[in-house]
Amino acid sequence: MLTSDLIKPRLRMQGSTLRVEMVNEQDPSLQQIAQDVIGLFHRYRDQSQAAWEEAMRAYEGASVDYVLIRGLAKVLTDAATFTPLTTPLPPTTLREQVFARGPVFGNPDLFHTVTRQEVLKEVADAYGLSTGGLDEMLFADRRASYRLTDAGPAWTPSALLARYNLELARGALYWASHITIEVASNYKDLWKYMKLFKLMFWAEPKQGGGYRIELDGPISPFVSSTLRYGRQFAAFLPALFLCDQWQMRAYVHPPQGRGAMLYQLDHTSSLHSHFKRSGEFDSRLEADFASEFEQKIGGKRGRWQLTRESEVLLLGDTVMVPDFLLVDTKDEKRRILIELVGFWHPNYLRRKVEKVRAANCAHLLLLVYEGLNITEEAFRDTAGEVIFFKQKPVLKEVMRTVEEMAEHVYGPRRKPERRSKKVNG
């Protein structure tokens, strides 16, 4: 991510509103700068990070676009791989051997008769190294000495400028104190990244669908005022771009000292996420279940519509996103959640059972693989229903249970009203 000194010049304030001035990704002059920076970066492959940074300073010179140039270079550097040199001994050991011979200089004098080159040769000979090789290895554990071994994505000028805009947008959140998100899709990835970046949240369902999520940050009453948590906000932001419908309102305290300001983004933004979406299914078991349902019951053949991970169970400081949701097409209030439990790891099972108990959800149906080291007793206190299966869930049994659960939770289906025929007199 960009450093704060590269973000602040792009912040614009009007009244109580904050926005970020982004660059035109199609501007020919900016594309030329981006192309120059990309080309220069590739020329420094296998050279040190210090050499690359020195080359960038030379390219920047007295340019008025120095904020842009430094920002593009930071994006390239962050996405690349710099690797430390391989050394026969830890660099700290090599430094100890050299420094133990006292202060030395390039040329001898009355008080320092041994030169630096002579000390390096003496230590290098002791370890079977060349003098030049030892000189490089002395500080091989410092980032400046790391070699550029992988330049990262195959950047185009437009793609690099687009990523720079994303980094500007997320950088404004460094100083955020509170964020409100309204979202209506792709819940699994959303909460996956919230968990990954250790964000504290409070969520509630929205009338009409979707969820409102409140995120507290570094200037909230119970978190010390630092940029560390704000950087977690910034790191999380690209996860929102994985959702189809969303909007964000953030209260930001910019370093210019104007107090809390409103910073807003939504799904109409032209920004794109570099995060990868999760696959449609987490396992072959889930994929096969969905495929069989579609073939035998889906479409107009049945009353139930199956959707993937489209509802969230809110469990305090965590959530559960069931694998499937069945909705009665004749009465959309009748909804049954389905969770397949087919993973064998003991910790996974323990957490799954804890979440099911915490959910206390009467319209949750668990489909559990018999081969797991778990019994019906583990689910005795849960509010929903459990079906154990051997190889795969039996769809006929699943749908029979779904109908029974729906009647138990929602009552009997309403019979359609019969229209009376008009008789001509």
Going by C-alpha positions, the residue among 342, 346, 207 that lies closest to residue 287 is 342
Local confidence band at 380 (pLDDT 50, 70, 90 cut-offs): confident
**Structural domains of the chain, with CATH:** 4-79+154-266 (no CATH), 91-140 (no CATH), 284-410 (3.40.1350)
**Within its chain, how far is the Cα of 425 from the centroid?**
72
- Give the pLDDT of residue 420: 53
- Give the pLDDT of residue 356: 87
> Residue 406: which residues within 8 A CB-CB, separation 6 or more?
328, 334, 336, 363, 413
Encoding tokens for residue 240? 């929102």
Going by C-alpha positions, the residue among 370, 321, 379 that lies closest to residue 350 is 379
- 16-25, 82-91, 274-283, 323-332: which is most confident: 16-25
Q: How far apart are CA 310 and CA 326, in angstroms?
A: 10
Average pLDDT over residues 106-112: 81
Residue 217 confidence (pLDDT) above 90:
no
Local confidence band at 181 (pLDDT 50, 70, 90 cut-offs): very high
Mean pLDDT of the chain: 88
Q: What are phi and psi of 353, to 5 degrees?
A: -65, -40
Going by C-alpha positions, the residue among 50, 42, 70 that lies closest to residue 149 is 42
Strand pairing report for 261-266 and 246-252: antiparallel
Q: How far apart are CA 55 and CA 266, in angstroms?
A: 38
Average pLDDT over residues 141-168: 95
Residue 344 confidence (pLDDT) above 80:
no
- Give the pLDDT of residue 2: 95
Q: How far apart are CA 402 and CA 326, in angstroms?
A: 9
- Give the pLDDT of residue 218: 47
Local confidence band at 425 (pLDDT 50, 70, 90 cut-offs): very low
- Give the pLDDT of residue 224: 46
Q: Answer with the residue of higher pLDDT: 20 or 201.
A: 20
Going by C-alpha positions, the residue among 68, 69, 67, 44 that lies closest to residue 55 is 44
Residue 424 confidence (pLDDT) above 60:
no
Residue 256 confidence (pLDDT) above 50:
yes
- Give the pLDDT of residue 219: 46
Residue 183 confidence (pLDDT) above 90:
yes
Tens of pLDDT, residue by residue over 27-43, are 999 999 999 999 999 99
Q: How far apart are CA 227 and CA 177, in angstroms?
A: 10
Which conformational region is residue 160 in: left (phi greater than 0), alpha (psi within -120 to 50 degrees), or beta? alpha
